[in-house]
Structure 1
Amino acid sequence: MSLSTDTMKPLAGLRPKLEPWEVIKWTDSQLSSMYKDWGIYFDRTQNLAASMQYFTKSLDIYQYDTETLRRRGCIKRKEARAPDALLDSKKAKEILRQYNPKLFDPNVNLEVCDSLYESNRLEDSMRSLHQNLKVFSHSQAQKVLDRLNVITENFHDSLSDATAPAVHRLIDKMTLDKANQPKYEKPECDVLSILENEPELLSPLEKRRRKREFKIYNQNYLHKCWTDASFLKSIRENPNLLIDQFTESSTHLKSLTEERYKVVRTFTKMLHTRCPKYCRQIHKYPNEELHQKYQQENLFRIQYQTRRNMFKILRNIRSLIRAGKLHKLTTFVEEVMGDYVTIKTNRIMPWKFEFINEVYNYLGLARINEYKIPSDMKVLTGRQRLLTLFRLPTDLGISQTKARDSILRELVRRTNETDLKAERFKFLTTRYEYRMRFAKYPIERSYLLHELAQAHLDNNSFDTCCLLARQSIDEALKGRHYIWAVLSALVACKAHAILGKVEKQKEMLTEAFKMAKKLKNIDLCLFIDICLKVNTEEIELKRQLITPEGSLRRRQRRSGSSFENSPSETSVHASNSP
């Protein structure tokens, strides 16, 4: 008994993994029908992804099945993919027309109309419905008439006489925005390059306005589900969900959230096309006088609440000043002025300018009161006395030596840990520079420049600190805000004291003394006057060291110190002497 060579050959590799029902050799028509039935089943159970998968498998086997194309188009419409659904339904209609012109399927034609409608092409959908109305029978025409009534109502909501004023206002606003847009100019560049797309820089007020509009938009069309849409928008870039260490899951979750949010936005745009927001406003308030009365009452309520909040803020500032909590006061003022006052318009806060001046003056006076002569001040040399007056560390040389000795340990530590001081400096500078772009008043710009100078001083960027302090003084003098001019001058004096620039220190202290006289603050004038005298002593000491007598005295001092630092030699000479 002889066996064929095919049966004697061993199987190479592993057998393919097959489901139990895949072992049987089904025909293509049977497989296509099975996939189609499974797609219909999963469509009933709202498992759209599985339904789409099986309909696609069925069409891969037999691509001319019009019923499967129509059902897959329905699934795509449920997934907010109306343009793709329109392609499937048009393809099914073309197949019917090409292979059997006498055969007419009303479901396919209605699917084309529905896809056009959900693609926000209302005019094309109405035109297609009128064409189908000619070929549909009396029993089939009712579905077409229902759809025509819906589209007619959509046009009435958008372009009726009641909505004409709102439409004209919208058209005027769009025309004005288009006219204000800068014209595109082709850059003169000989090299083929990719132009950098600058990100749109929005003011805090504009950001708040867009956030409010987004909330109202979702509330109009999603009702109580608007919170879900807002949550879905916020988690798209949330680091708690998209963890960098989990590369595979983070990629999948990012694509999933982006896809789901895109579906929500597509459905809301479809609802907005059928009934614009101005029309919903008219339906909600049919009586115009009642609507204006409601808006006026709401405006008065917000104005009154804002006024109460302003008085509460001022009371908190006064209590913090009385308690002497300067650091907490600075943090509170920055939060209030950066996060609350910047998003209020002059209509809501008519006393905005007065309130800004009041808050910044309170903060400036509290900081000026910190510049006092310490009662326990010991007799020190000129520079150390100046550093003590400015409440700066006097052991700068020792600290620098220690920093140089521990630089290797610091580098190792920073490779494993985040430098919190550098992160804080980066955060503060970014925040202040962003606020500087939209600051209107000189006192606000002077405050922001002063804070930037203080941040650079804390970060040991002394030259930048002096430059920003000078800019802050110029801004303060524009509005005659001498408090912040003096404070900025004293910040520059701190930088000069650390660097040991006594001549520039003298100029800045003299300028600060002139501005302090205008404030009529005796304690401040006395403090600056003592700083001037200490700085003058330092200048005289340096001049004496530069003269020949001073250089001789310095050499004698050095030789004396070297003699005192060598006790072993003196003991040897003493032992050898008789």
Structure 2
Amino acid sequence: MLSILPISVPQAQGVEAEIPIWEKIDWTPEIEQQIYKDWGKYYSRRRRENIAMHYYDKALQLSNDDYMTLYHRSQSKRKTAKTLGALEDSLEAKRILRLKSVVNAPINLEVCDALYELNQFEKAKAELHNNKRVFTGNKTKAFEDRLIVVDENIKDACGDGLSPFILENERMMSHVKDLLNEKFKVDNRPLWKILKEQNKCDILSIPECKEELLSPLEIARRKRAFDICYQVYIDKSWIDILFLKNLKKGFQIISRR
């Protein structure tokens, strides 16, 4: 018996691409937005963050005040090192909740995590302390754990971890500190007084040129020797040399005045 195989018909030019069946169904905006959000979570769990963010974007186009979609998109952005965008999404979700007079521990924690990954330890520490006062019970545990990590990072940067380095390079650091203080110090004294202390001058000085005194016979002899030398060795170009010499002499006279 002959088996009938499905024939793949090439798509005609100018015809729109095939639309998935589920997109042909007339979903309500709420259901469609939920579908996009679920697909975003599905792909995010499988580490396909680019596709996940694509569906989160489509979900937010249908409902831009959905704070949970912003929260999940913030997590996806942090996974792909787009931390600044993650902070913007989490702050926007927090702002929407504030308008509704609602607080959400995971969203506030996402703000703290984004600040920490941006190396803004002081702001992250302040946010963690504020959230410790807002929430109670088990919700504060995550903030307390992260606060320990932030405190250790700050301690390593400014505390015991930096002390040995400062002790070893104390002399050099004091010199650098003096240079920086000197650079940013504003001196309101007149310029001539500042330059006087530095053994400098605030005007353009021209060194005095000693004039050579020659007899008329020596002047004529040198002039004749100059002309003969350049006429012999440079041929017709000696006139240009003579012109440049006179031009240089004229500049020297003007500069003395």
**Same fold? TM cut 0.5:** yes
- Gap change, CA 1:27 and 1:173, over 3 Å in 2: farther
Aligned to 1:137: 136
Counterpart in the other structure of 2:88: 87
Q: Residue type matched to 1:45 in 2?
A: R
Residues 302-451 of structure 1 mapped to structure 2, 5 A cutoff? none
Matching residue's letter, 1:78: K
* 1:151 corresponding residue in structure 2: 150
State the SS of the aligned residue for 1:123.
helix
* Residue of structure 1 in register with 2:72 after alignment: 71
Q: Aligned letter for 1:55?
A: Y
Task: Name the CA shift for 1:175/1:33 in 2 (closer, same or farther; >3 Å).
Answer: farther
Shift in Å, 1:84: 1.0
CA distance in 1, matches of 2:175, 2:128: 32
Q: Letter of the aligned partner of 2:148 in structure 1?
A: N
| Cα distance change of structure 1 residues 135 and 18 upon mapping to structure 2, 3 Å threshold | same
Q: CA deviation at 1:174?
A: 11
- 1:120 corresponds in structure 2 to 119
**Which residue in 1 is equivalent to 2:213?**
none
Structure 1 gap segments, 5+ residues each: 1-12, 180-578
Shift of 1:130: 0.6
Alpha-carbon distance between aligned partners in 1 of 2:47 and 2:59, rounded to the nearest angstrom: 19
Cα separation, partners in 2 of 1:167 and 1:120, compared to 1, 3 Å: farther
- Matched with 1:164 is 163
In the TM superposition, what is the alpha-carbon distance from 1:21 to its structure 2 partner? 1.4
Distance 1:17 1:152, change over 3 A: same
The alpha-carbon distance between structure 1 residues 172 and 35, as it changes in their structure 2 partners (threshold 3 A), is same
Distance in 1 of aligned mates of 2:83 and 2:17: 38
Runs of 4+ in structure 1 displaced over 2 angstroms?
A: 13-17, 159-163, 167-176
* 1:31 Cα deviation after fit: 1.1
Alignment of 1:116-265 (within 5 A): 116-167=115-166, 169=169, 172=173, 175=176
Equivalent pairs: percent with the same residue?
A: 36
- The residue that corresponds to 1:109 in the other structure is 108
- SS for the counterpart of 2:138 is coil
Partner of residue 60, structure 1:
61
Residue matched to 1:45:
46
Q: State how far apart, in whole Å, the 1-side matches of 2:73 and 2:92 are.
A: 12
Tell me, yes or no, if the aligned pair for 2:155 and 2:161 is still in contact at 8 Å.
no
In structure 2, relative to structure 1, the CA distance for the partners of 1:31 and 1:127 (3 Å cut) is: same
Over 3 Å counting, the alpha-carbon distance change for 1:96 and 1:174 in structure 2 is farther
Q: Write the letter of the residue equivalent to 1:154.
A: N
Aligned to 2:35: 34
Query: Structure 1: how far apart are the matches of 2:61 and 2:88?
Result: 16
2:159 is matched by which residue type in structure 1? S
In 1: Cα distance, 2:60 partner to 2:20 partner: 21
The 1:25/1:173 distance shift into structure 2, 3 A limit, reads: farther
CA positional deviation for 1:162: 4.8
Which is richer in helix?
1
CA deviation map 1:405-438 (0-9, x unaligned)? xxxxxxxxxxxxxxxxxxxxxxxxxxxxxxxxxx
Report the CA distance between 1:159 and its aligned residue. 2.2
Please state how far the C-alpha of 1:165 moved relative to its aligned partner: 3.0
**DSSP 3-state at the match of 1:104:** coil
User: How far apart are the structure 1 equivalents of 2:175 and 2:87?
Assistant: 31
Per-residue deviation at 1:82?
A: 1.2
In the alignment, residue 61 of structure 2 is paired with which amino acid?
Answer: D
The alpha carbon displacement at 1:157 in A equals 1.7
The code of the aligned residue for 1:22 comes to: E
Root-mean-square deviation (Å): 2.4
Instruction: Flag the 1:124–1:28 CA change in 2: closer, same or farther, 3 A.
Output: same
Deviation at 1:173, TM superposition (A): 10
Task: Please report how far the alpha carbon of residue 175 of structure 1 lies from its aligned counterpart in structure 2 after TM superposition.
Answer: 4.0
The one-letter code sitting in structure 1 at the alignment partner of 2:141 is: Q
Are residues 34 and 172 of structure 1, via their aligned partners in 2, closer, same or farther at CA, if it must alter by over 3 Å?
same
- Is the contact between residue 71 and residue 90 of structure 2 (CA under 8 Å) also seen in structure 1? yes
Q: What residue is the counterpart of 2:197 in the other structure?
A: none
Please state how far the C-alpha of 1:161 moved relative to its aligned partner.
3.0
CA distance in 1, matches of 2:161, 2:118: 26
Deviation at 1:137? Answer: 1.3
- What is the alpha-carbon distance in structure 1 between the residues aligned to residue 150 and residue 21 of structure 2? 50
Rate the CA distance shift 1:108–1:162 in 2: closer, same or farther, 3 A. Answer: closer
SS in 1 for 2:78: helix
Q: Is the 8 A contact 2:37 2:69 kept in 1?
A: yes
In 2, Cα distance between equivalents of 1:18 and 1:174: 71
